Each structure stands twice: as C-alpha cells, then as structure tokens.
Amino acid sequence: MGKLFGTDGIRGIANRDPITTEIALKLGRAAIRFCERKGLRPTIVIGRDTRESGEMLEHSLVSGVLSAGGEAFRIGEIPTPGVAFLTKELGGGAGIVISASHNPHEYNGFKVFSHEGFKLSNDEETEIEDLILSEVTHPPNKDSGKAGFIGDAWKRYVYFLKKTLPGNRPLRNMKIVIDCANGATWKAGPALFKDLGARIETLFADPDGENINLNCGSQYTETLRKKVLETGFDLGLAFDGDGDRLIAVDEKGQVLTGDQVLIICAKMLKDKGLLKNKLVVSTVMSNMGLQFALNNLGIEHSSSPVGDRYVMEKMRAKGAVLGGEDSGHIIFLDHHTTGDGLISALQLLTAIKFFEQPLSGLATLMTIFPQTLINVPVKIKPDISSVPELGSVIKNVEQKMGKRGRVLVRYSGTETVLRVMVEGEKEEDVERFAGNIAEVVRRNLG
C-alpha cells in the first residue's frame, strides 16, 4: 500500500486529508495523464453512492478531468459494479467511484477501474498515486475538456443485470425482502427484482445523504431478519452502501456469511458443469469451514490476500470463475469483472430454484468454525514481526490450537486498526486466545 491507496482505493473521512477536494482535483488530472500514458481514450466515467459529500468530491474530480483536457461522463448515484460495467460499455479510459462502501456517512473515498472494468493492480495504483503527489510537474492543458451527464445510467446497468439470467421473469413466485442500506442500490435493486418477477418488500431505500449504512445494510441485519420472519418471505438480501457486497438471511431469520453464499453457488456451478477447473478462490480471512466444505464437494480451493481485488487477480491467474470474501464480496467472472452484490443475489436465488430447497437447507452445506475478530485501534503500524511480545503470543496460541485452528493478525488497509482473528473448534478457547492477543496489541501499539 502507498501513501494514498489502501486495500480498496483511497478512503477516509470526507473533507479531511486525503478525501479532500484538492486530492479529488489532482486525481481527475492524474487519471487523464494515466490514460494518455496507456494510449487510452482520455475519458473518465464517474459514479457515486448517496453520501452528502459525494457531490462536493464529484465536482472537484470532474474539474480535474476537464482541466487536463479530458472528458468526464457523470453517471450519478449507482452501485460500484455499475461504474465498472459502464466504463467498459461507454468506452472510457478509466472509471472512478466516489464511495466508502460499508463505512458510515462521514467517510468517503475513491475507487478506480481500468478501461476493461477491472480494479487496478498495485503497480497501476502506484503510478496514479505518483501522478497525484507530483501533480505540480503536470500542469493543466490550455484547452479544457468537456463533461456530460448520463441520466439513465442506472437503467442501463439494470438491463445488463437482467441479461445474466435466462428466461422471462425467472424469479416469479419468489418472495424477497431487500435492504438497500440507503445506499447506491436504492433504485437499481427494487427495479431489478420486480422486473424479474419477484414479489418484494423494500427496506432502507430512502437516502438523505446521512443515513447510508445507518443501522441497516450488510453490516446491520437485525431489521431485515425481523421483516423476513414477520412476512414469512423466502429470504432477505442485504447490500452495503455501494452495492458490491451481499449478506443473506434465510427464511428462519438466520444470517448467512459470504462464505456460505460462496459454497452454495460453488455447488450449483459444479453441478451445472460451469465451475471452471473445479476451483474456488477466497481470502485468508475465509472461515476454515469453507475449505472443509469445498473438499467434501470435490472442489479445489486457492487463497488470496484480503481484498476482492486480490481475489480477482488469483482467479484470473488460476483460471477460476468463482471467488469471494466472507464479508460478502463475491465475484462471478463469467458475468462481471468485479464483485457485484446484485449479481451475487441473482445467483443465490438461482441456486434456491435449482436445488428446490429453502435457503436454510442449503446453508447446511458448510459448518462454520467459531471465529472471533477484534479490531484494535493502533497509533502506529510497525511490521508485526518487529514487536517481540506480539510475535510470542501469536506463536503460543498457534501451538495450542494446532491444525484445528488458526490465527490471523493484520492491519486494516483503510483504518488505523489491527485486526486480530482467531478461529478454532471451541468458542470459549477462540474468544480467550483472541482477547489475549488483542491485549498485547493494546499494550504495545495502542
């Protein structure tokens, strides 16, 4: 990671460095320089979620693009994967999303997509970062560019999503509660499921700029759970603020993890003969139960670093068409170039119809190992191996757990926290071990 880019773009509190109008302006210019260097069309497709700071940052970003002589296509409030799709569809040299995903409304950020709709590599992000930080050496062009607004962009995206399923109204007779997190799916989500024939109840689709992710969406499913039980519907679907994550709730009100959705879809694709190389990619944060479940189904498994961008890189390198994260980022490479919560939802619904089972039954494909994750605020981020007491306690816990458990300690790429994850067979042991490690972190780094 560099000075600006973390594991998923540039992120922070809006109007504080680095999420400022000044950085947005420089990013717009840098994106055009980047396109020119690559021989790409100097056109940037720009979308955003529903945060109140989005318009402020969008105006500066567009100004940067225009001052560098480029063209900006503004596409308004739209899910992150919609920007990825439209960047390729409209022939843009790059796409930029103004969003902070599942974070509270005071946060915002920038995610950059290539002209093909993929997230940028580390090297490409470093190149753009260098252009931003050395912007003084790249003065604006004398001739300014132009900007346009595509008002029906979200409808084009919905049409694309509908084409990923065969047949006419393939979701008819399905009853679904959807939680749009007062975020970017607030228009596309309800329209999509209605058009495909489902009966829906919609929650949290009234954004006001401040209520995005506020006690709703993929991070807070309690209201969704209650609504599913109250209505007797087949399931509930929760998206995050920018619409690239999916968390599902079964008809009994039980919350499924991203790993559980992944195993259900993996089995469906394998049974249909569509799981290329019989391989699934997930990150090192996936539950141990996922690998056991994949082994039971005769499916190979490959791990990547944390971040859906790294999942995608491993998928492309290994020839996989399915991968994802326990957080709910799931990639169906036969359908899209990035994780897409709405596509994930469509594939999960397809699996329910394919297996002719309720979601609660399909959830039993995977046994979840008890896992505790503690986010410890830190003041500094030294190499973990350089902190002797921390290394010692981690080694001690690993020895006690053996092959039936694991420890993962890593810094967040977007926050000043160290994530301590412990997983094993006994919940009480997992919680105790995680607490021991977290205390050492607080003592040394907090």
User: Tokens for 227?
Assistant: 């609504």
Hunting for tokens 């809006």 — which residue is that? 14
Q: Which of the residues are catalytic?
A: 101
Residue 236 near residue 179, CB atoms below 8 Å? yes
> How many CA atoms within 13 Å lie on the side-chain side of 162?
20
Q: Which of 176, 130, 154 is nearest to 34 (CA)?
A: 130
**Residues 6 or more apart in contact with residue 342 via CB below 8 angstroms:** 79, 81, 161, 185, 188, 189, 192, 239, 243, 246
DSSP labels for 37-71? HHT--SEEEEEE-S-TTHHHHHHHHHHHHHHTT-E
Question: How far is Cα 363 from Cα 359, in angstroms, rounded to an integer?
Answer: 6
- Label residues 228-241 b or e (16+ Cβ within 10 Å = b): beeeebbbbbbbbb
| 188-195 vs 341-355: helix crossing angle, rounded to 10 | 30
Residue pair 444/385 in contact by the 8 Å Cβ criterion = no
Contact assessment for residue 157 and residue 188, using Cβ atoms and an 8 Å cutoff = yes
Rounded-to-10 torsion of CA 363, 365, 370, 375: -60
